[in-house]
Amino acid sequence: MTSIPTFAPGCFGSALAFDEAAPVCTVCRFAAECRPMHEANLAALRQRLGVDMGRVRAKVKEDKHETGLVISKQAQKIVDDLDASNLRVTEKLARGENPFGNDRMMLKLAAHILLKCGYVEREALSYALQTRMEWAPSTASLRAINIMQAFTHIGAADLIDGKLFIRRG
């Protein structure tokens, strides 16, 4: 068993927390010692859960936008629609205006909540979509995620600690 160095952070050797590209890990003075323990713990976790990495890696496919950010296909459709519409979403939201009409009701609702409350969490947006659009909870939850990804992707909002805030300036 590997010993944990004195004063190492609580994430030391975590199967899930270590990521050599993560900003926290790149500056951590324990990263070199953490990596082998992380790899051993991750291998043990995969073995316990029966995860065959050969099969998993073959199935993973990601769509990447030019910026390299990974977003869902539905969020990408929203982004493409907004790019083609010339609604100037980022500018109008920053000025306190709702750029969406009734033809984009789910986006109008999200923008309305953002403008009135200053921020929105996924659960609140999901509930608003569920009640206003009369969608199933699962559909509303997915749409909320897509909207948050799209608003973040176009630069109209920032996602901070699970809350979506309008980017003002």
Q: Tell me: the pLDDT tens digits for 104-113?
A: 999 999 999 9
Q: Are residues 104 and 52 in the same domain?
A: no
1 with 43, same domain: the answer is yes
Domain housing 90: 73-166
One-letter amino acid of 111: A
Residue 62, CA distances (Å) to 22, 72, 145, 158 in order: 19, 8, 16, 22
Query: Tell me: the pLDDT tens digits for 120-145?
Result: 999 999 999 999 999 999 999 999 99
What mean pLDDT is reported for the chain?
86
Instruction: From residue 17, give the alpha-carbon distance in Å to each of 26, 31, 34, 39.
Output: 13, 11, 10, 11
Q: Are residues 20 and 103 in the same domain?
A: no
Let me know: does 115 contact 98? Beta carbons within 8 Å: yes
Q: What are residue 120's DSSP bridge partners?
A: 164
The amino acid sitting at 159 is L
Residue 31 and residue 78 in one domain = no
Residues 38 and 94 in one domain: no
- 3-state SS, residue 46: helix
Identify which has the larger pLDDT, 79 or 23: 79
Asked if pLDDT for residue 157 goes beyond 80, the answer is yes
pLDDT score recorded for residue 1:
57
Number of compact structural domains in the chain: 2
Q: Cα separation of 165 and 31, whole Å?
A: 33
Instruction: Judge whether 134 and 121 are in contact, CB under 8 Å.
Output: no
Question: Given this model, what pLDDT does residue 106 score?
Answer: 96
Q: What percent of the chain has pLDDT over 70?
A: 89
Give the span between the Cα atoms of 13 and 33, in whole angstroms: 8
Are 81 and 155 a contacting pair, CB within 8 Å? no
Q: 115 CB contacts (<8 Å, ≥6 apart)?
A: 93, 96, 97, 98, 166
Q: Are 91 and 39 in a shared domain? A: no
Query: Does residue 68 register a pLDDT over 80?
Result: no
pTM of full prediction above 0.85 = no
The residue out of 33, 60, 87 marking a domain boundary is 60
Residues 2 and 85 in one domain: no
For residue 63, is pLDDT > 50? no
Burial of 168 (0-12, 13-18, 19+ CB in 10 A): exposed
Q: Is the pLDDT of residue 54 over 90?
A: no
pLDDT tens-digit readout, 9-46? 888 888 888 888 888 888 898 998 999 999 999 999 88
Whether 55 and 85 share a structural domain: no
Residue 169's pLDDT is what?
Answer: 64
